[in-house]
Amino acid sequence: MKRLLTLSMFGLLFLNGLLANSLGAAEIKSDIDVMQSSFKLFSSKSFKDKTTAINSIADSGNPIAITVLEALLDGKLYYHKKNKDIIVIQDIGSKSYDLKNPITNFSLGEKTSKQLKKEYKKVGINNKLRGVLNEKLAALTIFSDDKKIRLSAARNMLKNPSSSTVDVLRKAVLQEKDAEVKELMSVCVAAADALSDDVETQLRAVNSLSGSLYPEIRLLLEDLNTKYTENSNVDKRILPAVQSALDSTKLKTGFYKQLENIFFGLSLGSVLLLAAVGLAITFGVMGVINMAHGEMLMLGAYTTFVIQQIMPNSIEYSLFVAIPAAFIVTGLIGIGIERGVIRFLYGRPLETLLATFGISLILQQAVRSVFSPLNRSVITPEWMSGSYEFNPALSLTYNRMYIVLFALLVLVGLMLLLKKTAFGLQMRAVTQNRNMAKAMGIRTGWVDSLTFGLGSGIAGIGGVALSQLTNVGPNLGQAYIVDSFMVVVFGGVGNLWGTFVGAMSLGVANKFLEPYAGAVLAKILVLIFIILFIQKYPRGMFALKGRLADN
Amino acid sequence: MMKYKPLIFRLLENDKGGKYFIAILLLLMIVVPTCNLLIPESSVFYISTYVVTLLGKYLTYALLAISLDLVWGYLGILSLGHGAFFGLGGYAMGMYLMRQIGDRGVYGNPILPDFMVFLDYKELPWFWHGFDQFWLAMLMVFIVPGLLAFVFGWLAFRSRVTGVYLSIITQALTYALMLAFFRNDLGFGGNNGLTDFKEILGFDLQSDYTRNALFVCSAIAVALGYFICRFIVDSRLGSLITAIRDSEGRVRALGYRDEYIKLFVFVVSAMLAGVAGALYVPQVGIINPGEFSPINSIEMVIWVAMGGRGTLYGAALGAIVVNFAKTYFTAAAPEVWLFMLGGLFVVVTLFLPHGIIGAIKKISAMKSKKTKASVEAQKLNISN
């Protein structure tokens, strides 16, 4: 936050400089003169002198003032013992500091803390000065021309509403044009009013705070609630007002919390979907239990890692290369497995399970031998990091949003492939009646290989997505294999919709149980639920009906 | 009138493999303790205590494999969750051994095991009561896995969950148990499990005599487990069991309640697995939630497949062979072991569908055919 502030201030400084050149150099110049003369006062021992200096610096309204005053407040403003020059220090770790001239912002070199103490002395402040500084800083930032500075200033004030800063805010609210900033400012004012001694003001403020989503306000209301519950000799109207405000706040934040849970659930569901949809194809369409499916996810994730190693300078685009690459790599491996092993085991589902489990062990060990058993770090591109803040109680991370979107795209693509293409038609034909399909001239062996390749390839794509969420290591796949089976079994075999609904409902159920039961217990409960569910619906939620179900 | 024969001999009458198997077990029971206890260390024939314990561990695995073969080889249910029963039996034994430590633990608490003191338990959880009694712990070794198998089987078999679905939910079962046992607040020591055992029935677990006794107990348990399973599969019930494997619908149509038969076999198998677990723990000296991991349970399946399912002794053979290879390769070339195990899965399913025993039978059948054929040919030659 602070970095952002100083950054934008440098921007302002630059702008100001431009303006100064073209319009009125005199004004800026005089600001700086004022400052420089005030800086002399900082080396004085008298707090009165310092107050004068603070006042004149603040009154200049120059953005540099913010830097200086903040540094003073944080104890980062030093003066030279001999020539009284003012510097701002910046901690760069391991007990050394970067020294800067606050006006020119030029670095004066680095110094260790010993060297610093030898030449410079900290500008000391007391509590009274701290109050003055807070007030002046609030005024400076809250009237800034930059919306971001104003917004962050108001957000900072919300953390600690004190009467002195709020007086400034009251004026600022009236002047403020931007609705977003204005709303935040009035919440700030109300927060301060809620602590006031005047009952009427307090009541009005508490009422206006009702339903506010800021966590600070919630804490404030909770504090008030406990204070007034214990202490009965206050106005009778206040406690109910506080309680109703608190209830409304809790209700609203609770609502957004649920929304957030649903979103987390959906994103977990999307991960499950990406992991399980390939399995649904191989398991559902071909009746093959592919225990090596988790390893396809892992290989997809490792493909992402390799692609990023190949193109380290364009990480931003690496995922777009990694997706087709992972599809091809895992798809080919899948076809290889089908041709080499599974082809000989059709009609013996339990034995394919064992053989593919063996393959999964081999693949894991291969990855361990090639890439080392340690986790590999896959970089998240800039555009996928960060989060979008809807309101103070609800912010969603971009990477999860993209994954939800991506999972849906994959599902839609797969459905189109199954429903609209010749290959999809052949695949469905083979699923429904292998012998008849063969009689119609479909090369079933071919279709089998391609189907298996498709399922594996999609797992590879899922691996690319997973590499953005979890650690990429040789055991990545194992963590998902049981879950993927649960999804497929729960949703019903041979039905992409079933897989979709299964994945999403399991994801959401998991996330909703988590706050009550903890992550592990939630998982156990979901597993037990599935075990019981299978008893009732042995063929899953969306079971194939009629003749198809016989096999 | 028929001459009376003891049950054991009647069981082994037509079971050539079983005869060898029991003979080898008897031999081991005598040879291994003798070589460990009576022969001086300098001798070539000396077997170190480490090896005795290792063999004892293999024997518990063999019993586990026999129990799995009973449900997979004969009943046709591929259980991917037998590790759950094995682990539960192990935990029951572990709890007894834990209580035996008494005040000799690190914290010196006479009642609470160390991990409970560490986790700030105030008193013993209710399910730990009575585990200081050996007989109760032994009862629990049977009851807990049996009960779990009963409840699970009751639900699954009555609603006719079969095939792959059943395999997957057995896997879910053991996975859920693993997650549960990893939790500290379940009261079973969390991910550290139960360990630091001192003695069993008053005998020091580290002493050579106890180790040999445990080995002999394991061998006896394997033999008994073998007889129980053999008795079941040779009985009239056994014919029904194989019938269910081969055509469940037909058995049902004939009027048999297949779900009860399956339930019975499943519960017996779970109890045997529990016993295997209970014998495993004092020899290995630790039980932790890792025993419940789905991978372990799948590995058990490969023992059975490797040895040859549907033979019982084949399963035991497979368990011993695979685990011997595991011990050897994880020490000699750890990175090769997973390649080997993985390769084993593939090769066995592709080329040895009936395991080692199946291959041996096939070869001997071919040989006898050949000899028969050559005898015939000779006869023909002579007559010509």
The pLDDT, as a whole number, for residue A20 is 45
Contact A359 B341 (CB under 8 A): no
Non-local (6+) Cβ contacts of A103 within 8 A are A32, A35, A36, A64
The pLDDT, as a whole number, for residue B274 is 96
What are the DSSP calls for B184-235, one per residue? GGGSS-GGG-EE---EETTEETTSHHHHHHHHHHHHHHHHHHHHHHHHHHHS
Q: Both tokens of residue B334? A: 């750890």
Contact B165 A353 (CB under 8 A): no
* Residue found by looking up tokens 């994801």 in the block: A507
Cα–Cα dist A472/A487, whole Å: 22
Q: Both tokens of residue B26? A: 């008897």
Angle at the Cα of A148 (from A144 to A151), degrees rounded to 5? 85
The pLDDT, as a whole number, for residue A530 is 86
Please say if the pLDDT value at position A32 is more than 80.
Answer: no
What are the DSSP calls for A254-292, one per residue? HHHHHHHHHHHHHHHHHHHHHHHHHHIIIIIIH----TT
Q: What are phi and psi of B203, to 5 degrees?
A: -95, 135
Contact A358 B346 (CB under 8 A): yes
Cα–Cα dist B166/A452, whole Å: 23
What are the DSSP calls for B111-146, one per residue? SS-HHHHHTT-SS--GGGTTTTSHHHHHHHHHHHHH
* Residue found by looking up tokens 């080499």 in the block: A340
Q: What mean pLDDT do residues A84-93 have? A: 77
Q: Which among A283, A288, A357, A551 is the top mutation candidate for probing chain B, defined by the most B β-carbons within 10 Å of its own β-carbon?
A: A357
Residues of chain B with pLDDT under 50: 1, 384
- Tell the burial category of B166 from Cβ atoms under 10 Å away from its Cβ (0-12, 13-18, 19+): buried
Percent of chain A with pLDDT over 90: 15
Non-local (6+) Cβ contacts of A12 within 8 A are A63, A145, A146
B302 within 8 A of B325, measured Cβ to Cβ? no
Please say if the pLDDT value at position A278 is more than 90.
Answer: no
Please say if the pLDDT value at position A272 is more than 80.
Answer: yes
The pLDDT, as a whole number, for residue B191 is 84
**Range of lowest pLDDT (A117-121, A244-248, B261-265):** A117-121
Q: Is B344 on the interface with A (CB under 8 A)?
A: yes
Q: Which of A6, A76, A73, A69 is nearest to A38 (CA)?
A: A69
- pLDDT, tens digit, for every residue of A132-161? 777 777 777 777 777 777 777 777 777 766
Q: Among the residues of chain B, which ranges form H helices?
A: 7-12, 16-33, 49-69, 82-101, 114-118, 134-158, 163-182, 208-234, 236-246, 248-253, 258-284, 294-307, 313-332, 334-351, 355-383
Q: Which among A337, A506, A527 is the top mutation candidate for probing chain B, defined by the most B β-carbons within 10 Å of its own β-carbon?
A: A527
B339 to chain A: closest CA residue: A362
Q: Please report which helix (H) or strand (E) contains residue A98, including its range.
A: strand A96-100
- pLDDT, tens digit, for every residue of A63-75? 777 777 777 777 7
Q: Which of B293, B287, B80, B295 is nearest to B176 (CA)?
A: B293
**Which has the higher per-residue pLDDT, A126 or B171?**
B171
User: What is the CA B20 to chain-centroid distance, rounded?
Assistant: 19
Please say if the pLDDT value at position A76 is more than 70.
Answer: yes
A473 within 8 A of A373, measured Cβ to Cβ? yes
**Which has the higher per-residue pLDDT, A302 or A253?**
A302
Q: Is A357 on the interface with B (CB under 8 A)?
A: yes
**A69 min Cα distance to partner chain B (Å):** 50
pLDDT band at A27 (very low <50, low <70, confident <90, very high): low
- pLDDT, tens digit, for every residue of A171-222? 777 777 777 777 777 777 777 777 777 777 777 777 877 777 787 778 777 8
Q: What mean pLDDT do residues A449-457 have? A: 92
The pLDDT, as a whole number, for residue A543 is 66
The pLDDT, as a whole number, for residue B377 is 64
B171 to chain A: closest CA residue: A482
Contact A358 B341 (CB under 8 A): yes
Non-local (6+) Cβ contacts of B93 within 8 A are B137, B141, B277, B278, B279, B281, B282, B287
Please list every residue in chain B whose beta carbon sits closer than 8 Å to the beta carbon of residue A338: none
Tell me the CATH number for domain A255-550: 1.10.3470
Please say if the pLDDT value at position A60 is more than 80.
Answer: no
Note if the pTM is more than 0.95: no
**Range of lowest pLDDT (A226-230, A297-301, A322-326, B48-52):** A226-230
C-alpha torsion A72→A74→A80→A85, nearest 10: -40
The pLDDT, as a whole number, for residue B376 is 66
Q: What mean pLDDT do residues A259-273 have? A: 89
The pLDDT, as a whole number, for residue B256 is 92
The pLDDT, as a whole number, for residue A24 is 46
| b/e sequence B109-137, b meaning 16+ C-beta within 10 Å | eeebbbbbebeebeebeeebebbbeeebb
Residue type, B112: L
Cα–Cα dist B221/B206, whole Å: 21
Least CB–CB distance from B161: residue in A368, A523, A538:
A538
Q: What mean pLDDT do residues A358-382 have? A: 88
Please list every residue in chain A whose beta carbon sits closer than 8 Å to the beta carbon of residue B169: 489, 530-531, 534
Parallel/antiparallel/unpaired status of strands A86-91 and A387-391: unpaired
**What 8-state DSSP symbol labels residue A383?**
G
The pLDDT, as a whole number, for residue B384 is 46
A269 within 8 A of A508, measured Cβ to Cβ? yes
Q: Cite the beta strand spans of A308-427 per DSSP E.
A: 387-391, 394-397
pLDDT band at A549 (very low <50, low <70, confident <90, very high): very low
Cα–Cα dist A548/B121, whole Å: 56
pLDDT band at A407 (very low <50, low <70, confident <90, very high): very high
Cα–Cα dist A355/A360, whole Å: 9
- pLDDT, tens digit, for every residue of B196-250? 888 888 888 888 899 999 999 999 999 999 999 999 999 999 999 999 999 988 9
The pLDDT, as a whole number, for residue A96 is 78
Q: In what order do the strands lie in the sheet with A107-112?
A: A107-112, A96-100, A86-91, A77-80, A120-122
Please list every residue in chain B whose beta carbon sits closer than 8 Å to the beta carbon of residue A351: 349, 353
**A358 min Cα distance to partner chain B (Å):** 4
Please say if the pLDDT value at position A360 is more than 50.
Answer: yes
Strand partners, A86: A79
